Structure 1
C-alpha cells in the first residue's frame, strides 16, 4: 500500500521543471509573435488612413456639388455633422463623426492649404490638401498620405506631409 500511495502522489501534478519548460516555450513564442502583431496593426492603420483620405476626397466632391457657392470645404467638421438634423454647409453629414474630429486608427487628419477667392461677397474655396500623418511614427504607422482637389493620393514614406510618391 505504501508504494501505491507514493506513486499516486507523484502522478497528481506537474513538476517544477515541467512548468518552467512550458513557461519558457511560451515566452519564446510570444517573443516571436508580438513584433508581427505590431507590424500587422501598423499596416492596418495605414490601410485605414489611406481609405479615410479617399473618403474625405469623395466627401469634398459631394460638398462642392451640394454647396457650389462655397466651393470645397476647408474644415473636417464642416464635412461631418450630427445625424438627425438637416445637412447644412456648416455640417454636411458627409463623413462620420470620428473622422470629422480628425483622429482615426492612429492617424491625424486635416484639410490644409486651402485657396480662397471671393465672388459676389461670397468666399469660395477652390483648392485644398488633405493630410493624414501617424500619431506616432513607427508605432501607429510609417507613411503619411496626402490628396488634393484632383483626388490624387500620394504618400510620404517618412510619415510627414511631403507627399511625393504616388499610390499604385
Structure 2
C-alpha cells in the first residue's frame, strides 16, 4: 500500500515536471506576436538614429567648410568631401586634403546615408578657381530602411529635408 502511494506521488511529479505541448504553443505564439510588434519599432528607431546622425554630419560638413574657407581663402569653399577630409599620417593639411572632416563622412558614407557636395559655383580670380557656393547632401542608402528623408545644407547653414528621401530639399528642419 505504501508502495502504491509512493508510485502515485511519483507519477504526479512526472506529469508536473514539464510543459504540455499546448502550453508551449501558447508561449511561442505570444513571443511571435511580441516580436512582430517590436521589430518594426526597432527598425524605425534605427532609421531615426540614422537621420539624426546624417543631420549632425551635415553640420560637421558646414563647420569644416567654414574652416576650409578661412584656411584657404583663395579656394573659397571645397567642392569635394575628399578635400575636407584626409589623414594626418599623410602629411600636413593642404587644400586637397584639409583634414577637417572625419574619415567616414569624407569617404561619402556613414550610418546608412550617402554624402556628397554638389551645385558648386566657381569664379576665377587671378587665374585661381574660387568656389563661392556649394550644397552638401545626405540621402538614405535604402529609402524607408536606413532613413526616410534626405537632407541638404548650403553655405548659409540652413538644413532642409526632402520627405521623399532625395535631394529636392524644400522643407526646413524645425
Computing the radius of gyration over CA atoms, which structure comes out larger, 1 or 2? 2
TM-score with structure 2 setting the length: 0.92
Aligned to 1:108: 114
Aligned to 1:35: 40
1:84-95 mapped onto 2 (5 Å cutoff) = 84=89, 85-95=91-101
1:1-168 mapped onto 2 (5 Å cutoff) = 1-84=6-89, 85-168=91-174
Q: Deviations over 1:79-104 (max 9, x none)?
A: 11113332111111111100001111
Which runs of no fewer than 5 residues in structure 2 stay unpaired? Answer: 1-5
- Alignment length, in residue pairs? 168
Displacement after TM superposition at 1:117 (Å):
1.3
Which runs of no fewer than 5 residues in structure 1 stay unpaired? Answer: none
Instruction: Give the ranges of 4+ consecutive aligned residues of structure 1 lying more than 3 Å apart after TM superposition.
Output: none
> Matches of 1:9 and 1:167 in 2, distance apart?
64
How large is the Cα RMSD of the aligned pairs? Answer: 1.1
> Matches of 2:148 and 2:111 in 1, distance apart?
13
TM-score with structure 1 setting the length: 0.95
> Matches of 2:59 and 2:21 in 1, distance apart?
56
